[in-house]
Amino acid sequence: MAKVAATVSLMSPTVIISLVALIISLVSTAISVVSFRRSRQIQEYDYATRLQIEEEEIRAGGPGPEDAFSYSAQLVNFGLKPVEIDRVYVDYGGDALDTSWHFHVEGNSHMSPGGKRQINFSLSENDYQATLTKFDLKWCLFRLRVRYFNMTGGIVEAQRRLIAIGPGGTTFYAQRGDALT
């Protein structure tokens, strides 16, 4: 019996075709991965929570003659998905949360896409003076704070400074646009 020697050359057509197929497969896989990452980023943006403030009115003083501050606005869900609101607060007092009062405006609720919630708050002159005394403050800062659940169930907190009232006058905090989140 004769021995048949089988040798495979690296330049044979079979090896070249296999290498080209492997390279095409790797390039295709890389394109798929990049495409998936981009579409995931776009989807996360599309489904992101978009809470905004509309019809906002901030007043040093208020509708009542004894009010030191009043605030009214509508919280609106401009996102594509419903949002579960944990709590809505108007904080007043010092700059840090531990040196301020937390007025609970609204509790756990759901906002459908396009849904609106009215926010109303006013603080009397007596409560304003008591806050300055209790926390030993010269200025009283007011902020809107909204806590809501994100898509993974974690709590996200968005804050918006509104106004600071003190002995020298009033400072309004400006923000471009009406976005909260």
pTM over 0.75: no
Q: Is residue 180 part of a domain?
A: no
pLDDT at 92: 95
pLDDT at 178: 54
* Same domain assignment for residues 131 and 152: yes
Rounded-to-integer distance, Cα 142 and Cα 145, Å? 10
pLDDT in tens, 43-82: 555 567 888 999 989 888 777 778 889 999 999 998 888 8
Report the number of distinct structural domains present in the chain: 2
Residue 40 above 80 pLDDT?
A: no
DSSP state of 67: E
Whole-angstrom distance between the N-terminal and C-terminal Cα of the chain?
A: 83
* Residue 124: band (very low, low, confident or very high) from pLDDT cuts 50, 70, 90: very high
* Residue 146: band (very low, low, confident or very high) from pLDDT cuts 50, 70, 90: very high
User: Which residue(s) pair with 122 in the sheet?
Assistant: 70
* Residue 11: band (very low, low, confident or very high) from pLDDT cuts 50, 70, 90: confident
Q: Which pair of structure tokens corresponds to residue 92?
A: 């007043």
Tell me the residue ranges of DSSP E strands in the chain. Answer: 51-60, 67-77, 83-93, 100-106, 109-111, 116-124, 140-149, 155-166, 169-172
Q: Is residue 2 part of a domain?
A: no
Rounded (5°) CA angle 150-155-158: 90
* Residue 171: band (very low, low, confident or very high) from pLDDT cuts 50, 70, 90: confident
Residue-number span of the structural domain to which 66 is assigned: 51-172
The domain spanning residue 95 has which CATH number? 2.60.40.10
* Same domain assignment for residues 72 and 108: yes
Closest CA to 103 of 93, 86, 89: 89
Rounded (5°) CA angle 154-155-161: 150
**Mean pLDDT over the full length of the chain:** 84
pLDDT in tens, 93-108: 999 989 999 999 988 9
Q: Is residue 91 part of a domain?
A: yes
* Same domain assignment for residues 55 and 35: no
Percent of the chain scored above 90 by pLDDT? 44
Per-range mean pLDDT, top range of 5-14, 21-30, 43-52: 21-30
Which stretch of 6-10, 16-20, 144-148 has the lowest confidence by average pLDDT? Answer: 6-10
Q: Is 78 exposed, middle or buried (0-12, 13-18, 19+ CB in 10 A)?
A: middle
Rounded-to-integer distance, Cα 35 and Cα 94, Å? 48
Q: Average of pLDDT values for 138-160?
A: 90
